[in-house]
Amino acid sequence: MADKIVRIGVVGVGGNGQGHCKTMQRADEAKLTAVCDIDPATAERVGKEHDVPYFVKHRDLIKSGLCDAVIVSTPHPVRPPIAIDAAKAGLHVMSEKPLCERVSGGDRMIKAAAEAGITFVVDFQRRTEPAFAKAIEIVKSGRLGKIYRRTLISPEYRSQAYYDSGGWRATWEGEGGGVMMNQSPHVLDLFILLGGMPSRVTGRTETRLHDIEVEDFAEALLEYPDGGTGYFTCSTCEAGPGQMIEIFGDKGKLIYRNGALELYEFEPGIADFTTNSEKMWGGPECKKVPVELEECERGHINIIRNFCRNILFGEERLTPGEEGIKSLEVANAVWLSAERGKPVDLPLSRTAYDRFLAKKRRESTFVKVVKDHRETDPKHKK
């Protein structure tokens, strides 16, 4: 490894992978040294644009000796073999989200990374947003008391043109799911960081507005090991601001909405007031507490730099790869529950989910219209 620089190869240089190639130029700890894309014209164009060698097969990039690490930004179902080959060759791995389209694939990636002893992270760049960093600190401090309810509402609007831009998108075969697989992993990750992992999921999915074969709407009732409950809904049919998470506890309520955070504290706590108050009307005092957000470096650049600094200096990982399994497990559980029409318990049966997905793929008759187009989301730099 060159002195204090991690040489990185990006595998899958479509819209998002190209974003990483550019973002990396702002990171002192990283240097783009190769790219790979299964589409030869894309590999060549991006390689020439950045003046680095380009490959069509990921194994050739891995064997080249040009890279210490890879960022895997292919469609999710093809990520495990690439990440596993890289780990086995001793290369560090940054996986795009979700780790994979199903938990069994995510498990294999985690196992390979652990066995190889490499640095493994997942690109959950939203963890570094000031409001979330603060929300996590508040929840971990115990200020909210026992958590009774967690709610997540996530509008994730996408047009039909978005879905038509790649043959893999929104198909059981190419993507393994819809809004829960592609758009909501970030916010589901944050929701789980704040509210914990549910132990039982009752899910429902629909394809409401788009000409796709997977869900553009999902919702679920969640039950938690501590007896609390939760609800989430996400949809690529719903537009406008309003991504919202509420965590309601015995001693307070935390509300995240569009990058802003509100904190309320109850005095006395709900259980105490309910049991001990002799008042017929009213409830505990509900006091709004000011919350100060600290500005910090955020977005993909922060994840890339942290990935490199972990490799170089052992800095604590902000987004450990192993944690990528949680949001994926909840998403997979929603589909399995929707299919069965009844709740499913976590940890999710890997065999049952693999069977469900194989059946969906086997029975698929959907004919996709593709207008192939690779374009970086303008939000990538955030």
Positions touching ligand NAD (CB under 6 A) are 11-17, 36-39, 42, 58, 73-76, 78, 96-97, 123, 125, 166, 182, 374, 377
Residue 40 C-beta: closest distance to ligand NAD, Å: 10
Q: CA-CA distance, 149 to 248, in Å (whole number)?
A: 5
Grouping H, G, I as helix, E, B as strand and the rest as coil, residue 336 is helix
In b/e form, how buried is each residue of 69-86, taking b as 16+ CB within 10 angstroms? bbbbbbbbbbbbbbbbbb
Cα 377 from chain centroid (whole Å): 16
- Nearest residue to ligand NAD on Cβ basis: 14
- Considering beta carbons, is residue 9 or 198 the nearer one to ligand NAD? 9
Q: Which helix (H) or strand (E) holds 247?
A: strand 244-249
Residue 222 C-beta: closest distance to ligand NAD, Å: 23
Q: Token digits for 61?
A: 């990039």
Q: E strands of 18-105, at which residues?
A: 30-36, 54-55, 69-72, 92-95
Residue 197 C-beta: closest distance to ligand NAD, Å: 21
- Considering beta carbons, is residue 211 or 377 the nearer one to ligand NAD? 377
Asked if 369 contacts 210 with a C-beta cutoff of 8 angstroms, the reply is no
Closest listed residue to residue 336, CA positions, set 234, 198, 236, 220: 220
Residue 228 C-beta: closest distance to ligand NAD, Å: 29
Residue 39 C-beta: closest distance to ligand NAD, Å: 4
Asked if 208 contacts 337 with a C-beta cutoff of 8 angstroms, the reply is no
The sign one gets for the Cα dihedral 212, 213, 219, 225 is negative
Residue 289 C-beta: closest distance to ligand NAD, Å: 31
Residue 3 C-beta: closest distance to ligand NAD, Å: 29
- Considering beta carbons, is residue 76 or 210 the nearer one to ligand NAD? 76
- Considering beta carbons, is residue 125 or 243 the nearer one to ligand NAD? 125
**Parallel, antiparallel, or unpaired: how do β-strands 92-95 and 69-72 relate?**
parallel
- Considering beta carbons, is residue 84 or 144 the nearer one to ligand NAD? 84
Give bridge partners of residue 30 from the DSSP assignment. 6
- Considering beta carbons, is residue 42 or 202 the nearer one to ligand NAD? 42
Residue 75 C-beta: closest distance to ligand NAD, Å: 5
Q: What interhelical angle do 185-195 and 324-340 show, nearest 10?
A: 100
In b/e form, how buried is each residue of 190-203, taking b as 16+ CB within 10 angstroms? bbbbbbbebebbbb
- Considering beta carbons, is residue 183 or 202 the nearer one to ligand NAD? 183
Residue 367 C-beta: closest distance to ligand NAD, Å: 19
- Considering beta carbons, is residue 248 or 335 the nearer one to ligand NAD? 335
Q: CA-CA distance, 212 to 169, in Å (whole number)?
A: 9
- Considering beta carbons, is residue 123 or 216 the nearer one to ligand NAD? 123
